[in-house]
Structure 1
C-alpha cells in the first residue's frame, strides 16, 4: 500500500511538493479552496513528469494517486507526512495548523514558509513538537534543497523522521541549527536582491544585465561549490587565509548598499517590471519553466557525472532505489542474473525515436560492473591493480526500445577459466529480449599490462555461478558472427 502525503495549499510551491511526492510513489491528497487548484497542479505535474525522470538512471516508481480533498481534515487523515504551503500570513498558518492537528494524529507537519521561525509557527498549537520549517526552492520537484528548521519545542525524533522522508523522495534536508528569520538561503538571497534593486534604480544595470552577471559567471560556480569553497580556491595555494587577507579590508569599503534599502514605490516597481518584461516577455511562464527545467537537467546531470554537489544527491538517490530493486527482485535459482534495472530516457533516443546503440553498451557496462562487484572484482579490486577488461563485444538488436520503456539487464556465464570470462548479457523489456551482447572479458594485471589469473577469492565466487549456469540453455545468439543468417 502506498504511503500518503497531505499537501495543504496548492500554489506553485504546494504543487511542486505534490509532484515530488507523487513521482516518488506516494499517494497525495491536496487541499486548496482555489477552484483553479486542480488545473494549476495538473500543469505543474505535467512539467514534473517531463523533467524529474530525466535526472534518474533507474526507473521511477509507479506514480502515486492524486486526490483533491474538500476539507483539511479529509486531506490529512491517514497521512504519514504533511506539508503546509499556504500564503505567508502567520494568523492564517495558525488557523491551518489548528485544523490539521484535529486529524493528523502526530504526523510531522512541515511548513514551506520563507521567513517565519518555527517557534512563531508553533504558537498556541495543540502539539507544537511536530511543527517545523521545511523550506524548499522552486521548482520543488527538481531542486533537492529543503531547509529543515526546528525550535526548542520540536521533537528530535520527529525531525529525524521528517528528514529521512525528504531523503526518500530525493531531497537534501539541510538541518538549520538555530532558528532565525528567513533561515539561511533567503537571508543570503535578500541581501543580493537589495543590492540588485539599487543597481537598477541608480541606472547602473538593467534586470537582464544583472541576470547575465549571475548566470554567466559566479552563479555557475555557486551551483557546484557554494560561497566559501569558491573563495577558498580564489585564495590560490595559500587558501582561505590568503583570500581573507587580500579581500577582507574591502568589507569596510562602500562597494554595496546592503543596509540601505531603496524606497519600494510605484516608480521602482514599474522600472523593474518594465525591464523584466523586455527581457523575458516573449516567453510565457510555462515556456520559461520548461526552459528552466531543461537547463537544470543538463546542469545537474553534469554534476551527477562528477559525483559533485546536487549531482551527488542524485547518485545516492539512484543507489538507494537500485538497492531496493535488487532486494525486491531476487533472481530465481538457475536463471541468468538480473543485475540492472533502467529506463529509456530522452537523452537515449536517436533520430528514429529508438534507443541509440551506444546506450545498449552503457547498459551492458552497468551489467558487467554489477557482476564484477558481485564476485569481488569491483572498484576496490581495480584500485589494487587488477581488473577484467572487455576484449570483445557482439551486439544483436532484436527489438526496439523506445522512450519510457523499462528495461532489465541480465547476465549468463557461458564459460570461464582463471583468465577469461565469457558471458551473454541480455537487455529485456518485460520478457522480450530487445538486444543481446556477447562479451569476452580478460583478467589483466594493470601494472604489468598483460593477462594473469584472477585472485583466488574472485574465482571462488565466480565458479559456483558458472557451474549453476551450465544447466541453462545456451543462447541461440552465442557464437554468431556479423552477418550470419538466421
Structure 2
C-alpha cells in the first residue's frame, strides 16, 4: 500500500466523508482532517454505507481498500496527490483553509474544492490553482462531479480512475450547472408549499413517479426531443415554446423563509418520512440507487455506460492455464440479486456461471468483444447446480473454474462459488460451439481448439476428481 497515491480529505460532512469513501475504496491512501466534534463517527458511518453498496455496482472486484488515517491538516496534505476541501459554504473559511494548504501542498498536487456555489476565481482570490470539483450526495455512488477551472485534464483523469464522471466546465458561473437547475426547481417547490398548492409529499411523488425517471436516463433535452416526435426539438419548441411566456412559475422570486413556512415544510416532511431514521433512509436510498444504476448498466446507457467502462478498467486479464482451478470471477453480490427470503435468488446463479465461463472464452479469443469470435459463439446447453449455503447482498464471492473437457464441439467446465472459506454453490456446465450463420453446432477454429486443449490438459488431474454429471 506504500505505493498507493494519497488523497487529503478536509472535512467529514456528507460530501467530505463521501469523497473519503470514494478514494479509499479505489485503493488510495486517505488522510482525513476535520477538527469538528464527531468527525470520526460521521466518517465511520459513511464508510460503512459505502463499503456495503459501492462494490454492488460492479461486476468485478474493486481494488484492495487503501489505508485510512485521521490527522492534522499539515500531515494530511503532506505528500498528497489530491487535496479535496469540503468545508461549509463560507468563502472566508475556505480562504483560511486554502491559505494553509497552499503553503504545504506538493507542487504537482491537484487542489479541489467541493463548493456548490463559488467559482475558482472566488476561491483563488484571483490567483492560484484551486479547481472546483463539485460532487453529489452520496459521493460514493453518484458519479457526477462538476469540474471547473483551467487545465482540468489531469484532474479529470484522476477522477475517472476512481469511478467518477467529471463534467469539465470551462465557463465560470456561480452555482455551476446542476445546482442552478436544481435551485430553479427547488424555488418553485417552496412556492407551491407556501401557497398551499402542494405538500412536500405530492411534490416528491410528482418527481419520482414521473419526470425523475425520464431524467435518470435521458436528461432534459433528450426527453423533450422525444416530445417533438419525428420533428425533433424544432417541433417541440414550436408546440410548447410559446408556453414559456405564460406566468406559470415564480422564476427568480424567492418566498420568505419565515418561521411559519419553515414549520409548514418541516411538519409535512415529518409526516412524509419522519417515521424513518436517517440511517434507514440512507439504506433505502442507497439500495434504490444501486438497483437503478445497475438497470442502466444492463442497457449500457447514461450513468450505466460510464459504470461499464469503469468495470472494464478493473477487469484483470484472464488467467493462463495452470495446475490449480482458475479464479474466473471476483465480485460482490448486489442488492438486486436477492429475493424476499433475503438471499441470492436461484436465477442469479446462472449469471454468475455465465460470467465465469466468459472469462475462459475471453482467454481463448472467443469473448463477447473478441475480434476472432465473429461468426461463432458458445451456447450453454446444460447446467447442473448445487446450492450449498445462503449468500446475501454485500458478500464478496470468488468463482474457481476447472476445465473438465475440451473435445470437438464440446466444452465442459466445473465452477465453484466461494464466499470466504465457505463453498456456497457449484455448477457443472456444458457448452457447444455454434456457427452463428447456421445456428447449429460446429467444430471451433483450430487455434481456439488448441487453446482450450491447453486448459483441459492443465486440469486433467483436477478433472479426475470431479466426475461430470450426466447430460447431453
Deviation at 1:176, TM superposition (A): 0.9
1:390 aligns with 2:389: no
Per the TM alignment, residue 452 of structure 1 is displaced from its structure 2 partner at its CA by 2.0
User: Hey, what does 2:289 align to over in structure 1?
Assistant: 296
Deviation at 1:429, TM superposition (A): 5.1
**Post-superposition shift, 1:445?**
2.7
Tell me, yes or no, if structure 1 residue 122 matches structure 2 residue 124: yes
Select which of 345, 356, 362 maps to 2:351: 362
Superposed CA RMSD in Å reads 2.7
In 2, the alpha carbon distance for the partners of 1:18 and 1:333 equals 39
* Secondary structure of the corresponding residue to residue 175 of structure 1: strand
CA distance in 1, matches of 2:392, 2:292: 24
Alignment match, 2:154? 161
Separation (CA, whole Å) in 2 of partners of 1:44 and 1:27: 17
- 1:277-316 to 2 correspondences below 5 Å: 277-316=270-309
Mapped to 2, the partners of 1:355 and 1:290 lie a distance apart of: 18
DSSP-derived class of the 2:80 partner: coil
Are the equivalent residues in 1 in contact too, given 2:408–2:444 (CA < 8 A)? Answer: yes
1:422–1:439 contact (8 Å) kept in structure 2: yes
CA deviations 1:297-334 (Å, max 9, x no partner) are: 221122222222222222222222223xx38xx54644
User: Cα deviations across residues 441-475 of structure 1 (Å, max 9, x unaligned)?
Assistant: 212234433222323453354344445445x4424
Report how many residues are paired. 467
2:362 aligns with 373
Alpha-carbon spacing, 1:464–1:257, altered in 2? closer, same or farther (3 Å)? same
Query: 8 Å contact 2:297–2:305 — kept in the other structure?
Result: yes
CA 1:302–1:383 in structure 2 vs 1: closer, same or farther (change >3 Å)?
same
1:257-296 C-alpha deviation (Å, 9 max, x unpaired): 2133333433333333332233232223222222222221
2:398 pairs with 1:408: yes
For 2:311 and 2:147, how far apart are their aligned partners in 1?
23
Task: Specify the SS of the correspondent of 1:101.
Answer: helix
Normalised TM-score (structure 2) = 0.90
- Taking the aligned partners of 2:94 and 2:105, their CA distance within structure 1 comes to 15
Secondary structure of the residue aligned to 1:120 is: helix
Is 1:448 equivalent to 2:438 in the alignment? yes
How do 1:75-474 and structure 2 match up within 5 A? 75-106=76-107, 107-123=109-125, 128-129=128-129, 131-150=130-149, 154=150, 156=151, 159-323=152-316, 326=317, 330-331=319-320, 333-348=322-337, 355-379=344-368, 384-396=374-386, 405-428=395-418, 434-470=424-460, 472-474=461-463
Alignment check: 8 A CA contact 1:331 1:338 kept: no
Q: In 1, are the aligned partners of 2:404 and 2:468 still within 8 Å (CA)?
A: no
Question: Is 413-422 or 211-220 further displaced after alignment?
Answer: 413-422
Aligned CA distance change for structure 1 residues 284 and 413 (closer, same or farther; 3 Å):
closer
> Where does residue 6 of structure 2 map in the other structure?
4
Q: C-alpha displacement at 1:57, in angstroms?
A: 2.5
8 Å CA contact retained: 1:7, 1:17 = yes
Measured in 2, the distance between the counterparts of 1:291 and 1:34 equals: 28
**Bigger shift: 439-448 or 181-190?**
439-448
C-alpha distance 300-401 of structure 1, shift in aligned 2 (>3 A): closer
Distance 2:427 2:231 in 1: 52
Unaligned runs of 5+ in 2: none
Q: Shift of the alpha carbon at 1:215? A: 1.0
1:34-91 CA deviation, whole Å, 9 max, x = no partner?
121112222222222232222223233333332222x311221122211001111112
Deviations 1:98-134 (A, max 9, x none): 1011211121111010111111111166xx12x1000
TM-score normalised by the chain length of structure 1: 0.87
Q: Which has the higher contact order (CA 8 A, sep 6+)?
A: 2
Q: What is the distance in 2 between the residues matched to 1:200 and 1:404? A: 39
Q: Identify the match of residue 64 of structure 1 among 63, 66, 71.
A: 66
* 8 Å CA contact retained: 2:290, 2:335: no
Say if 1:424 and 1:437, in contact at 8 Å, map to a contact too.
yes
SS of 1:439's equivalent in the other structure is: strand
Rounded to whole Å, the distance in 2 between the matches of 1:437 and 1:19 is 35
Please give the alpha-carbon distance, in whole angstroms, between the structure 1 residues aligned to 2:457 and 2:288.
Answer: 49
